Structure 1
Amino acid sequence: MTKKLLTIALTGLLSTTAFAADLYVRNAGAGGAYSTVSAAITAASDGDRIIIQPKINGTAYVENLIINKSLTFVSETNYNKYIIQGNVTISPAAGRVVTISSLSSGISGGYTLEASGATTGGRTTINLYNCDLNNVFTYQVNTTTNISGCTVKESLIFSHGRCTANKANYINIYSQAEDTSLATSDVEVYGNVSKSGISNAQLNYNFKFYNNFCTGFIVSNFKAGGSGEIINNTVYNPNPGDFGPFYISLNGPIPGNITIMNNAGSFVVGQTNACIKNESTNVNVTATYNLFTNSFVTQGTMTQSNNSGAVNMNFDNTAYTIAGMNVNAGNPAINYTDLDLTRNDAGHYGGSNSWANYWPSDNGGKPQVNYLVTPRTISSGTLSITGSGFSK
């Protein structure tokens, strides 16, 4: 059954898109191509694709980019990134879609990819795939960011979208103000590495944090009356800090519900020994089936069941693995069954959003899954499987 489900999902991952025109950028304008990316952007029309040749010996295109059209940027050479030494600024516009694949900001310089302001009368969508970036700041009003398979050396800060299989120093979902043209989907953060934690500081959307490997979670803002899910993550912090692994600290009496479940954790005690701390007064926190190597200590009001402390687990924050008593110790409900159809694991390999979806051990330069939803059971009706991916 598992193999059939995955086969059906993967056959629909990659599709062919028709572009209005292809514009080429090559070193010194070889073969009649544009010599700079900026020149190609100026010449392009909405819907065009700009195909960029990586320069030899890691040489960069030295230019700042202002993207003010709906365009797609890709590498001309399979499995190779082109380097742009400069800031990338995306100008907002209702309905604008900018897709960037295989961009590298280089090994030096604090260059930023950002949206330059709020979008009015609709939404701007930014898709980032297989990129090496320094900072991503796309938290402006009415902006959706879908980012997958990227490395962000410093901060990844966005206000809405889907974030899967990235490695970042810090991931923050943050909003400056209320969106005026609301998106119809939740914030989804699946299968990422964050060396300095993951936080929710946005007030417009429900959030789902699944199967990440990080140092901890902070919820400092929230959708009024909304819901948040922090499920099947591995939290490991070998350094003492100011906050425990799960910290709910909201400004004001915001109502809602947060589920903390099937997580595996270990941390060095710093300012607090609490595994979960709830400082809010109106948010209902439910903590179940969480496992810690620490003594299981909580602070604040929450509903608890089936949590365990002082368990034997081993964490590796280089290989991003976990071993020990977490195996098959999560919520036994069938909704949380693993991909191998065993009882659900606690930690980032458990459940249908398993780390293995996004970080296959032999992926190499092959196409990569960036989103996959498979049902655990089929009793009647139509089988619905959703998936997407990109080729490196």
Structure 2
Amino acid sequence: MTKKLLIMAFTGLSSTMAFAADLYVRNAGAGGAYSTISAAITAASDGDRIIIQPKINGTAYVENLTINKSLTFVSETAYNKYIVQGGVSIDLAAGRVVTISNLNTINSINGLLTTGAAVGGRTTINLLNCDLISVTTTTANTTTNTSGCKVSGPLQFSHGICTANKASFITVYSFQTETSMATSDAEVYGNISTGAIANSQPYYTFKFHNNFCETFLIRGIKTGSSNEIINNTVYRPAAANFYPAVFYVGLYDNSLTNTGNLTIMNNAVSFVPGQSNVCIQNDHNNVNVTASYNVFANPFVTQGNMTQSNNSGSVNMNFDNTAYTVTGMNANAGNPDVKYTDLDLTRNDAGHYGGSNSWANYWPIDNGGRAQVNYLITPRTVSSGTLSISGSGFSK
């Protein structure tokens, strides 16, 4: 097959960020710094950066943090985390932006959560390279962008971009009414969930790409939306009786009467049946499900209304939930359309390494402590008009 490549060069691409002031936090207030993070927050103004020195021998700052300003938190020692033994609460307000990097709360009882309400605008929370007990930012008018984090419990947010995280389960979740709508989708790319990845909100289109997890649960949908579950690997090595099917659509509460579309494509799946041996189950006729080019190690069984094509069952594949790999007959089994081609420009491999959002983008073998790209969306084909590329990155 002849392939035409579009080569683009970006030169002089750089960015700088200016902060109003830098406030330092060090053990016992060394060098005139603040001795607690809370004291620095009290003294700070919107737009300031708080630079925190990790204590020696893994000692923690023992305090509960309440963040009520637009602030950025970073480690004073590059790539090393500072430990906080206590909860982290972010007060919501219109236009507030809170960025937290390199925070470790893994030995705390409480997780990171939001309080109050953002009225007349949105709050944006950025969590980068953190180790956390849990994340619960499910309040309305809140965007949470999370990347490179390890969350021992649930990672739950109402809107945002979630890339390269590991959590016990990941849910886009909100039952509060959004009054200041974001213009972007809810995107979950390249994550590890040791349980489910779910959508339980009716306000935003969702895109779940290139994740490694045990199941997908769709409990909410935005009316008129076109949603995607594409190029994921689903591996369930033990029976789980609380999951109806590997891909389950069962709307409830404020989504019961909503109508929308869901594409399930290019996924590689193996599971031990629990209460059901169903691969894809749609319990709502008002959700139009299209399933294609999915490969299952199990017999391919569906339930409910859906449009099906080119799905395969009883396929020989090998799954590893330690190395997070899938090999075998998933290779070149995905949709052959050029817009789904792999990074090497061959046909799509079903599973989390396939397509342009490949797992390899988010989990490099060794980045050498360098800055990491955590979001990059580029078109695979260009016909005419404006070329739109979206991307971001962060330094660990």
Give the TM-score normalised by the residue count of structure 2: 0.95
Between the aligned partners of 2:303 and 2:52, the Cα distance in structure 1 is 53
**Paired residues for 1:122-141 under 5 Å:** 122-141=121-140
Between the aligned partners of 1:93 and 1:281, the Cα distance in structure 2 is 39
Equivalent residue, structure 2, for 1:159: 158
Deviation at 1:224, TM superposition (A): 1.9
Equivalent residue, structure 2, for 1:376: 380
Question: Are residues 1:250 and 2:251 paired?
Answer: yes
List per-residue Cα deviations over 1:74-122 (Å, max 9, x = no partner): 000011000011100000000000000000013x232211111321111
Aligned residue type for 2:395: S
**Paired residues for 1:206-285 under 5 Å:** 206-242=205-241, 243=243, 244-251=245-252, 252-285=256-289
RMSD value, Cα: 1.5
Between the aligned partners of 1:96 and 1:56, the Cα distance in structure 2 is 32
Deviation at 1:226, TM superposition (A): 1.8
Aligned residue type for 1:16: T
Aligned residue type for 1:117: G
List per-residue Cα deviations over 1:120-142 (Å, max 9, x = no partner): 11101000000000010100011
Deviation at 1:381, TM superposition (A): 4.0
Equivalent residue, structure 2, for 1:59: 59
Contact kept in structure 1, 2:212 and 2:352, CA below 8 Å: yes
Between the aligned partners of 2:10 and 2:354, the Cα distance in structure 1 is 21
Contact kept in structure 2, 1:313 and 1:323, CA below 8 Å: yes
Aligned residue type for 1:298: T
Aligned residue type for 1:39: A
Name the SS for the 1:42 alignment partner: helix
Question: Are residues 1:352 and 2:352 paired?
Answer: no
Between the aligned partners of 1:233 and 1:268, the Cα distance in structure 2 is 17
Deviation at 1:216, TM superposition (A): 0.6
Contact kept in structure 2, 1:232 and 1:263, CA below 8 Å: yes
Aligned residue type for 1:17: M
Name the SS for the 2:188 alignment partner: strand
Between the aligned partners of 2:278 and 2:5, the Cα distance in structure 1 is 38
Name the SS for the 1:208 alignment partner: strand
Name the SS for the 1:314 alignment partner: strand
Name the SS for the 1:38 alignment partner: helix
List per-residue Cα deviations over 1:205-260 (Å, max 9, x = no partner): 00000000000100011112222110000000011123221000012232110110
Name the SS for the 2:74 alignment partner: strand
Deviation at 1:383, TM superposition (A): 3.6
Between the aligned partners of 1:227 and 1:77, the Cα distance in structure 2 is 44
Aligned residue type for 1:45: S
Equivalent residue, structure 1, for 2:391: 387
Between the aligned partners of 2:206 and 2:381, the Cα distance in structure 1 is 24
Deviation at 1:364, TM superposition (A): 4.0
Between the aligned partners of 2:130 and 2:305, the Cα distance in structure 1 is 41
Between the aligned partners of 1:25 and 1:87, the Cα distance in structure 2 is 18
- Paired residues in the alignment total 388
Q: Which runs of 5+ in 2 are unaligned?
A: none
Between the aligned partners of 2:101 and 2:151, the Cα distance in structure 1 is 14
Contact kept in structure 1, 2:216 and 2:246, CA below 8 Å: yes
Question: Are residues 1:308 and 2:309 paired?
Answer: no
Aligned residue type for 1:311: V
Deviation at 1:283, TM superposition (A): 0.6
Between the aligned partners of 1:167 and 1:89, the Cα distance in structure 2 is 21
Between the aligned partners of 1:122 and 1:301, the Cα distance in structure 2 is 39
Contact kept in structure 2, 1:2 and 1:339, CA below 8 Å: no
Contact kept in structure 1, 2:84 and 2:108, CA below 8 Å: no
List per-residue Cα deviations over 1:145-188 (Å, max 9, x = no partner): 00000000001110000000000011011102220000000000
Equivalent residue, structure 2, for 1:195: 194
Deviation at 1:375, TM superposition (A): 2.0
Change (3 A) 1:188 1:139: same
Deviation at 1:44, TM superposition (A): 0.4
Between the aligned partners of 1:346 and 1:147, the Cα distance in structure 2 is 25
Q: Which runs of 5+ in 1 are unaligned?
A: none
**Structure 1 residues 308-317 or 14-23, which shifts more?**
14-23
Between the aligned partners of 2:6 and 2:226, the Cα distance in structure 1 is 33
Equivalent residue, structure 1, for 2:69: 69
Equivalent residue, structure 2, for 1:81: 81
Aligned residue type for 1:145: T
The percentage of counterpart residues that share the same residue type is: 69
Contact kept in structure 2, 1:110 and 1:135, CA below 8 Å: no
